[in-house]
Structure 1
Amino acid sequence: MTETRIAVVLKGYPRLSETFIAQELLALERRGLPLEIWSLRRPTDRARHPMHAAIQAPAAYLPEYLRDAPFRVLRGLGAALTRPRLPALLALFARDLWRDPSASRLRRFGQALVLAKELPSEVAHIHVHFLHTPASVARYAALLTGRRWSFSAHAKDIWTTPAWELTEKLRDAAWGVTCTRDGLARLEALAPGRTRLAYHGLDLARFPAPPPLRAPRDGTDPADPLRLLCVGRLVAKKGHDDLIDALAALPEDLHWRLDLIGGGELRGALEARVRERSLTERVTFLGALAQPAVVAAMRAADLFVLPTKPAPGGDRDGLPNVLMEAASQALPILATAFAGTPEFITDGEHGTLVPPGEPVALATALARLASDPTLRLRLGEAARVRLVRDFSEAAAIDLIADALRLSAGLAPSAKSLEPELAACAS
C-alpha cells in the first residue's frame, strides 16, 4: 500500500536565508508527516545548513522558465486537457491575467500545469510557503487536480501582493497560518477567520548554550574593539544603509568592528557606502554563511544590530529569525521597532528598539550600549529568557502538523487540534 504524502511548494530550496522553513520541514518530519518538496527555483547558495542534510523529503524542481523545459510544459498541458476541472482553472486564470497581465503570471500557470501533471497520486494535500507567486502555482494546481491547499504566509508576500489577490487566495485556501500579529492583522482585514497565528519559534536543541561570559568591552581600547554583528540578506528592508550611516556618526574615540553576514543584490552599493564613509577597515562583508558559522559569530560578538525598515516597493520583514538566534546566545540586540520585531522584543526589557529609518537614533543607541556592558548583559539574558519561555517552536509545529494530518486524511496526533483550524482543515 502506498503512503499518503503532502506536497510542500516553495519558491526556492534550499535557501540559507530561510532557516525558518528548513526548521519547520524538519520538525514536521520528526512528527511523522510524509513530505515531498516542490520548488519553483533551483538553489543558488553555495552552502547549506545542517538542517537541509537532515531533511529526508525528496525535492523536485519545476521549470523556472518555461522555455527551458518545453516538453515538460507540453506534457502538463496535454494532461490538463483531459481533466474535467480545466474550464474552471481557465476561467480563474483569465481573471488573474486580466488584472495582472505579466510574464510572471503566465510562468506560474505553466509551472502549475507541470506540477499538476507530475504530482504523484499519493499526494493528498498541497501546502505552500508564501502567498505570492508560490501560492499562485499551488492554487492553480490544486484546482486542476481537485486537491485542497493551505499556506504559510510570512512577510513580503503579505505586504506586496495586491489586496484582490490576497483576498481570493485566502478564501480559496483550506486554512493558513502566519508568523506575526502584524501580518495576521493585514490578512484578517481582507478575509476574517481564514488565518491563524503561528510564530516560527526556535528549536533550541539545535543551538549551544550561551557563552558563559562575554568580555566587558566598552569601545575604549583600540586593541580590543567592540564587536558588532549584523546578519541579514543585503536588501533594502534590512536597513544596512542606515547602519552604515549610524556607524559613521559614532565618536572617533569609540573603537568597534562590524561583521556583516549575508549576500544580496545591494552588496556593491553597500561596499561603496562603506568606502565613502571611510569605514573600510572597520566593516567586513562575510557573505552568506551556513548556520554553524552564524552561531559562532554570534557567540563572539558583543552586540547584534538589525535596523529593518520598509523597502521602497513595500516589502518588509516579519519577525526575523536571526533575532531569536541571537537571543539563543544571550547576545544583546539593537533593532528597530518595526514589523514583527516588537512582538519579540520589548524596548528596554529584552533589547533596545529605535524608530526605523533613523540613523541618528540608531547611532545614539549604539553609543549608549557600547559604553554599558552591564546593560548589554542584562538585555541579552532577558532576551534568552523571553525566547525560552514564549517562543519555543513546539506550539506552532503542533498546530501546523495537526492541520496537515487532517487535511491529508492522515491519523491525527494524540494532542487536540485548535477547534477553528480543525474546522477549516476537515
Structure 2
Amino acid sequence: MAGRVIYIVRSWPRLSQTFVVNEVLALERLGVGLSVYSLVRSGESLVQPEVAKVRADVVHLRGTGRRHAAANARDALSLLRRHPRTYLGTAWFALRHPGLAAGYGDCSTLACFAHASEVAAHVVRAQGPQGRASHVHAHFAHDPALVGLLVARLTGLGFTFTAHARDLYQIPPSSLATRARAARAVVTCCEANARHIRHSVAASDLPPLLVVHHGVELDRFRAGPPRPPAPEVPTVVSVGRLVEKKGFEDLLRAIALLGHRGVRLCLRLYGDGPLRARLLELRESLGLADVVTLMGARTSDEVAAALAAADAFVLTPRVTDDGDRDGIPNVLVEAMACGLPVVTTAVGGIPELVTDGANGLLVGAKDVAGVADSLERLVVEPSLRARLGCAARITVEESYDVDEAALRLREVFAGDVGWQGEAGP
C-alpha cells in the first residue's frame, strides 16, 4: 500500500505487549511502511529482542508539561496556519468533550489533543514520496484511540483502532461509541470482545467490526526435543504479568491442593508485576517453596525456550471486580504452538481458542479444585498430554499465524474491510 501507516501505542517497547511488536514486524515483511508514535516511554529495562528488528521510525511524544510548551505551541501554530478551520474545529471538539478521556487511561482529552497535534505536525512535514502518511491505526481503545481519532480529524487520514482488554472494558460506552463512529473499522482480537462492542455501541455508530486474532511466529514457537513420556516430576510453565486478572493466587492454591493429594510437579512462573510480593508470601504460607519458582520477567526468547522444555502449560485468568479481563492471552497461543497441553479458565476469548477435551482442558474461573483436577489428569495420563498437545499445535497453525493476521490488517488499512472476517451484527 502507498504511504506509511501511523501506529499509535500507549508505550514502546512494552515487555508484556509482544503481540504489537510481532504485528509490526509481520506488516513490515509485507512491505507496509510504518511510523510508531508512543505516548510515553515504557520505563522498562528489559527489552524484547524482536524490537531491534523493527525498521519503523519510533517517536516518543513529548508530553504536555511546561518544559514542552514552546515546542507544542510551534506544532499548534504550524497546523493553525496550514488549515485553520480544521485545527480550530478539532480543538473545539476536544474542549466540548472532556468526558472522552473518562475511565481507564492517563491522559485528559486536552492532553490527547496535544499529542495528536504533535503527530499531525509530523504528518504534515513528511509529505515526500517516502514520508507521506496514508492511514492512522491505534492499538488500544483508551488514550491511543482517542489520540488516533484526533489525528484523523486534524489530517483527514483514515482511522482504525484495535481494542484489547482493560482498554475496552473500562471506558464508558459513550466514549467507545465516539471512537467507533470516527473509525473506518474497529478491530479486536476475539469474538467475546466483539460481542461487548456490539452491546455497547449502537449499530448506527458501528463501522465494520473485525476479529483478527493475534498471531504467533510458527517457526519460532514450536515443540522442542522429545520429553520423557512419564517424567518423574513434570515441569509445568505459566507466563504473565503478576496482576489480579491473571489469577495466579488461584493457581498456587491449586498446586498446593495437588501436593496434598501426593501429585508431584514443579511450576515455573515467568513474569513480574505488583503482586510479586503477595505471591511470594502465599507460596511460603502454602509450603510451596520447593515446588513453585517465580522466574521474574524474561525475554520472549527465554520464554520460548522454557515452553519448548516444558511438559504442560497452565494459565488461570479471572474477571476482576472492576471488569478487567483478558481477551485471548498471547502466551496461551504460544504454548499451544509449542505443542503443549494446556489447562486454562473459560474467561474472555479463551473458549474461542481452547475446546475442553479437544485441544486443552478448560475450567471455570476461580475453580481451584478444577485446575488441580485438570493438572492431575495431565500428570497421570501421558497419552492425554500427547493428544492435546498435537491438537493444540494444529489449532494455532490453522487460525493464529501472525503473517495471516498481518495480511488481513493490511487490507483494513488500505480500506478493504469487506472480507469474511467481519463480525456481523
Q: TM-score, normalised by structure 2?
A: 0.89
1:159 match:
169
The DSSP-based 3-state class of the residue aligned with 1:285 is strand
Counterparts of 1:2-401 in structure 2, within 5 Å, are: 4-64=3-63, 66-67=65-66, 69-82=68-81, 83-98=84-99, 104-105=107-108, 106-119=110-123, 120-121=126-127, 122-189=132-199, 190=201, 191=203, 192-207=206-221, 209-217=222-230, 224-252=232-260, 253-401=262-410
Q: Counterparts of 1:327 and 1:422 in 2: how far apart (Å)? A: 23
Q: Counterparts of 2:55 and 2:245 in 1: how far apart (Å)? A: 33
Measured on the aligned residues, the alpha-carbon RMSD in Å equals 2.3
Structure 2 segments unaligned to the other structure (5+ residues): none
Q: 1:385 to 1:317 in 2, by over 3 A?
A: same
* Letter in structure 2 aligned against 1:164: S
1:411 match:
none
The alpha carbon displacement at 1:101 in A equals 6.8
Q: 1:161 to 1:146 in 2, by over 3 A?
A: same
Residue range with higher mean Cα deviation, 338-347 or 184-193: 184-193
The DSSP-based 3-state class of the residue aligned with 1:53 is helix
The alpha carbon displacement at 1:387 in A equals 1.4
Q: Counterparts of 1:299 and 1:67 in 2: how far apart (Å)? A: 50
The DSSP-based 3-state class of the residue aligned with 1:316 is coil
The alpha carbon displacement at 1:333 in A equals 0.3
The DSSP-based 3-state class of the residue aligned with 1:308 is coil
Q: 1:238 to 1:246 in 2, by over 3 A?
A: same
Q: Counterparts of 1:321 and 1:299 in 2: how far apart (Å)? A: 16
The alpha carbon displacement at 1:422 in A equals 12
Q: Counterparts of 1:263 and 1:7 in 2: how far apart (Å)? A: 30
Q: TM-score, normalised by structure 1?
A: 0.88
Residue range with higher mean Cα deviation, 75-84 or 168-177: 75-84
**Residues 36 and 59 of structure 1 are in contact (CA less than 8 Å); yes or no, is this contact kept in structure 2?**
yes
Q: 1:68 to 1:296 in 2, by over 3 A?
A: farther
The alpha carbon displacement at 1:204 in A equals 0.9
* Letter in structure 2 aligned against 1:360: A
Q: What is the aligned residue count?
A: 405
Q: Counterparts of 1:206 and 1:291 in 2: how far apart (Å)? A: 10
Q: 1:29 to 1:373 in 2, by over 3 A?
A: same
The alpha carbon displacement at 1:418 in A equals 5.0
Q: Counterparts of 2:420 and 2:97 in 1: how far apart (Å)? A: 28
* Letter in structure 1 aligned against 2:68: A
Deviations 1:210-233 (A, max 9, x none): 134222346xxxxx4221111111
**Residues 403 and 421 of structure 1 are in contact (CA less than 8 Å); yes or no, is this contact kept in structure 2?**
no
**Residues 9 and 126 of structure 1 are in contact (CA less than 8 Å); yes or no, is this contact kept in structure 2?**
yes
The DSSP-based 3-state class of the residue aligned with 1:357 is coil
* Letter in structure 1 aligned against 2:354: I
The DSSP-based 3-state class of the residue aligned with 1:126 is strand
The alpha carbon displacement at 1:45 in A equals 2.9
**Residues 130 and 152 of structure 1 are in contact (CA less than 8 Å); yes or no, is this contact kept in structure 2?**
yes
The alpha carbon displacement at 1:109 in A equals 2.6
Q: 1:274 to 1:114 in 2, by over 3 A?
A: same
Q: 1:398 to 1:98 in 2, by over 3 A?
A: closer
Q: Counterparts of 1:39 and 1:400 in 2: how far apart (Å)? A: 20
**Residues 348 and 379 of structure 1 are in contact (CA less than 8 Å); yes or no, is this contact kept in structure 2?**
yes
1:413 match:
none
The alpha carbon displacement at 1:67 in A equals 4.3
Q: Percentage identity across aligned positions?
A: 33
The alpha carbon displacement at 1:264 in A equals 1.4
Q: Counterparts of 1:49 and 1:194 in 2: how far apart (Å)? A: 33
Q: Counterparts of 2:420 and 2:159 in 1: how far apart (Å)? A: 14
Deviations 1:334-392 (A, max 9, x none): 00011111111100010000001222221222222222222111111110111112322
Q: Counterparts of 1:375 and 1:421 in 2: how far apart (Å)? A: 35
Q: Counterparts of 2:145 and 2:366 in 1: how far apart (Å)? A: 31
The alpha carbon displacement at 1:127 in A equals 1.0
**Residues 80 and 88 of structure 2 are in contact (CA less than 8 Å); yes or no, is this contact kept in structure 1?**
no
Structure 1 segments unaligned to the other structure (5+ residues): 219-223, 408-416
Residue range with higher mean Cα deviation, 225-234 or 3-12: 3-12
Residue range with higher mean Cα deviation, 70-79 or 379-388: 70-79
**Residues 102 and 171 of structure 2 are in contact (CA less than 8 Å); yes or no, is this contact kept in structure 1?**
no
Residue range with higher mean Cα deviation, 43-52 or 162-171: 43-52
